[in-house]
Amino acid sequence: MAEMTSGTHATKKVQNAWALYDWANSVYSLVITTAIFPIFYNAVTTVRDDDGNLISDVVTFWGKEFLNTQLYSYVLATSFVVIIVMSPLLSGMADYAGKKLDFMKIFCYGGALGCVSLFWFNPEHLEWSMGALFLANLGFWGSL
């Protein structure tokens, strides 16, 4: 039986870089998208009384009122629409110019900047905070 091998052998440095990239992507999808940030976001954008009863879950974004969970969904959906529109164009450009790694780096750095910016998440300045979430999601999905 013939043994299948790939035509390229990556150096240890390249293997470690891909492992770190994969690890970071896994952390983003767990922490930011599903498990921790949505709970944190809901907690800081919801007003409750001392007994834990809901007073308000409405936030103001660019002068318009939204339910907090509704706004979160809109921001993520908008970032997905941007990715859907950009991906065919940018992937064609990256393939044609042979710059796939450069495009991946740009999106990774943008996503990292968005994630770091979430440290300063502030419901009083929701436009900036949602911008950070938008950038983080755009960077994550764009780098794939």
Question: Which 3 state secondary structure label does DSSP give 6?
Answer: coil
* Structural domain span for residue 27: 12-143
Question: Which 3 state secondary structure label does DSSP give 53?
Answer: coil
Report yes or no on 3 lying in a domain. Answer: no
Q: For the residues 116-138, what does the mean pLDDT come to?
A: 94
Residues in the chain: 144
Report yes or no on 61 lying in a domain. Answer: yes
Distance (Å, rounded) from C-alpha 32 to C-alpha 79? 14
User: Is pLDDT larger for residue 35 or for residue 82?
Assistant: 82
Report yes or no on 4 lying in a domain. Answer: no
Report yes or no on 1 lying in a domain. Answer: no
What's the total number of domains in the chain?
A: 1
pTM of the model: 0.82
Report yes or no on 5 lying in a domain. Answer: no
Report yes or no on 2 lying in a domain. Answer: no
Report yes or no on 117 lying in a domain. Answer: yes
Cβ-contact 109, 137 below 8 angstroms: no
Report yes or no on 112 lying in a domain. Answer: yes
H helices then E strands: how many in the chain?
5, 4
Q: Is the pLDDT of residue 129 over 90?
A: yes
Most confident of 26-35, 59-68, 91-100: 59-68
